[in-house]
Structure 1
């Protein structure tokens, strides 16, 4: 038994399906991203439960790999990290007007201000506590999403006043690309130029912009001119390629950190002409063997991948036969299959090992690899391997 198998066997005994998260892969991926981006620092994005890999597990592995910052979208995620004892610099960027911003100030969390109202909310919380809040300013350079878009100059004035009052400490200024996965798209250069202009406006107002950061995973890997002081990879931290048309994970020195495994719960013979799954969208073309995999759309398997999603059984990959159900999918294993109930199958794994990948599933479902890993549901037990002792 391999060390990985030994580690997962006790936790998965009796489980019909499970997710294995390789913390060592996360650690190595971050180290590779740091190597590529140095002297810029790395902020590892661990939002969305670390893209389905586990918030605290991924955060600790990323820090062990050399990340000096962590980033999350929701304020609650940041507070959860602090409650787990993670003390590293931590940036959050989404909160509504009703949010308890004071909790972030108390926890030393860097809060992104993206509008006059959000800056006012943070300043009010800082005044209540008699201590400056750590903030970062976000300028919308063309994505048309979060950040100050039309009156950056006016916002700079508000920010300068808050800094002068010592209500806030500006630790960074940032923006986000719209098309970083297409490095030659004209918006990439235009956004970088606008970002530099926005930084110059801050400096012209006597405000130190702090850490300057713009690069997501795609820009970290393909656009060194966008690295500035800090890069902000998310998907690549977990070993997936943000530019699959330009290279697979291994081409960038990355390794997938998530593996989804299941056990066949039924193996039975079927005659030619047997309809399979709801609506009989698949019909057997010959006498064959059908295998039942106890994973479905309630677990995160995309329903749109029916008839196409790949599953590895006994060293061979089979497409899902017919529709994806809530709790299960069926495979046509062929007439000569020797599969048995209890055999392990790989639904999602490492491409370099010949296993189905998140990109394979994304193409089967007409979506992106980000969605495949983030949607793996909570009823699947998580097993962590590769953690540093």
Structure 2
């Protein structure tokens, strides 16, 4: 039975469904969503999110590793699951056993996959400028040659946009160049008589910034979960995205500090006057960044309260001076809302000098994921 214990995550299926509808509204009718539920569905819980999306009629997914794909299969996900990253040959049996689709990360890797000797479904990665995974888009002969391997069942071709979140003319031009390079590869394959594969290049920002969404799949990531990477990001699409996740923890105890008294590791917080502090049962082992600015805050009783001192492994301190009736067991909100106040994942990320993708994907396994009504 789910319990709201020391610290937990609340997930809104209603908001997830709303975001799916919003993204489907923006995409062309023929473009299917291929949600990215890697990194435990960006910290939301891969099994919970995968099953909810499958119930909504989505049948194509992508993950980063074989292990993530297996977790979805064991949770009852029956559709296509694409592994975006490298899989060691020792795990090729698991690719086959769990019917996972593997990315061909370059021509030499295609040879390794083929040498396994059994039929494997794959998507071919094309490097159009990210310079990460994929065979370079200008190596068209190598790309064509991948179709000659008899044990590779090629069902897709894809690439990845590296600055689709950018707003400058230079960034938009480079994104258009990547799309042009990808289209040229697809056209060259078709002219060679190679067909029967699906195409995809867009992730969240490629969708939201209106980059000609005319491919077969769209790999919806951070936007699916109702947030953007940074709080000040601006996108071209008018999308009403709603956060799926809230992060909460309990007040453990309340203490009074006298003027000049310090608290926490390194005595990093010293009370300039008499202060009331509450110890909250969540820390960096749960995914709260230890580093960051001194302007971080949480929500308690509908008010913003500063986080003070150093983040501990299992606890943190908040200054609740002037807030009446704070008591052990009270709920503190690290991501989410309390009264009219709100903290987004991107707010927490900005306070910590990173992006919301990292904050969410690092949320720890000891945080219970609980489905709630919006």
| Length-normalised TM-score, structure 1 | 0.88
Which residue of structure 2 lines up, in the alignment, with residue 80 of structure 1?
Answer: 71
- Gap change, CA 1:326 and 1:313, over 3 Å in 2: same
CA shift for structure 1 position 105: 3.0
Work out the CA distance in 1 between the residues paired with 2:65 and 2:359. Answer: 20
Which residue of structure 2 lines up, in the alignment, with residue 6 of structure 1?
Answer: none
Partners of 1:181 and 1:243 within 8 A in 2: no
Q: Any runs of at least 4 consecutive aligned residues in structure 1 with deviations exceeding 4 A, and if so which?
A: 350-353
Which residue of structure 2 lines up, in the alignment, with residue 7 of structure 1?
Answer: none
- Gap change, CA 1:336 and 1:93, over 3 Å in 2: closer
CA shift for structure 1 position 221: 1.2
Which residue of structure 2 lines up, in the alignment, with residue 219 of structure 1?
Answer: 206
Which residue of structure 2 lines up, in the alignment, with residue 62 of structure 1?
Answer: 53
Which residue of structure 1 lines up, in the alignment, with residue 313 of structure 2?
Answer: 326
CA shift for structure 1 position 66: 4.2
1:118 paired with 2:109, answer yes
Q: Deviations over 1:51-103 (max 9, x none)?
A: 11111111122233343310001012112222222111111122244342243
1:339 paired with 2:329, answer no
Partners of 2:13 and 2:372 within 8 A in 1: yes
Which residue of structure 2 lines up, in the alignment, with residue 239 of structure 1?
Answer: 226
Work out the CA distance in 1 between the residues paired with 2:16 and 2:216. Answer: 22
Structure 2: unaligned runs, 5 residues or longer: none
Q: Please tell me the root mean square deviation across aligned C-alpha atoms, in Å.
A: 2.4
Where 2:343 maps in the other structure, the secondary structure is: coil
CA shift for structure 1 position 46: 0.4
- Gap change, CA 1:259 and 1:151, over 3 Å in 2: same
Partners of 2:123 and 2:158 within 8 A in 1: yes
Q: Work out the number of aligned pairs and report it.
A: 369
1:37 alignment partner, one of 17, 20, 27: 27
Partners of 2:229 and 2:346 within 8 A in 1: no
Which residue of structure 2 lines up, in the alignment, with residue 4 of structure 1?
Answer: none
Work out the CA distance in 2 between the residues paired with 1:24 and 1:270. Answer: 43
Work out the CA distance in 2 between the residues paired with 1:242 and 1:220. Answer: 14
Q: Deviations over 1:131-169 (max 9, x none)?
A: x4321111000001011127632322322313xx4x333
Partners of 2:137 and 2:181 within 8 A in 1: no
Work out the CA distance in 1 between the residues paired with 2:45 and 2:323. Answer: 40
Q: Deviations over 1:20-48 (max 9, x none)?
A: 22233222212221111122110000001
CA shift for structure 1 position 216: 0.6
CA shift for structure 1 position 181: 0.7
Work out the CA distance in 2 between the residues paired with 1:232 and 1:187. Answer: 20
Work out the CA distance in 1 between the residues paired with 2:340 and 2:182. Answer: 41
1:375 paired with 2:362, answer yes
CA shift for structure 1 position 315: 0.6
Partners of 1:181 and 1:218 within 8 A in 2: yes
- Gap change, CA 1:33 and 1:333, over 3 Å in 2: same
Work out the CA distance in 2 between the residues paired with 1:355 and 1:34. Answer: 27
Which residue of structure 1 lines up, in the alignment, with residue 163 of structure 2?
Answer: 179
CA shift for structure 1 position 375: 1.0
| Length-normalised TM-score, structure 2 | 0.91
Q: Is the deviation greater in 228-237 or in 149-158?
A: 149-158
Work out the CA distance in 2 between the residues paired with 1:136 and 1:316. Answer: 49
- Gap change, CA 1:234 and 1:28, over 3 Å in 2: same
- Gap change, CA 1:354 and 1:227, over 3 Å in 2: farther
Partners of 1:30 and 1:67 within 8 A in 2: no
Work out the CA distance in 1 between the residues paired with 2:230 and 2:250. Answer: 32
CA shift for structure 1 position 195: 0.8
1 or 2, which has the higher helix percentage?
Answer: 1
1:168 paired with 2:149, answer no
Work out the CA distance in 1 between the residues paired with 2:214 and 2:227. Answer: 19
CA shift for structure 1 position 352: 10
1:52 paired with 2:36, answer no
Which residue of structure 1 lines up, in the alignment, with residue 188 of structure 2?
Answer: 201
- Gap change, CA 1:351 and 1:62, over 3 Å in 2: farther
Work out the CA distance in 2 between the residues paired with 1:135 and 1:359. Answer: 34
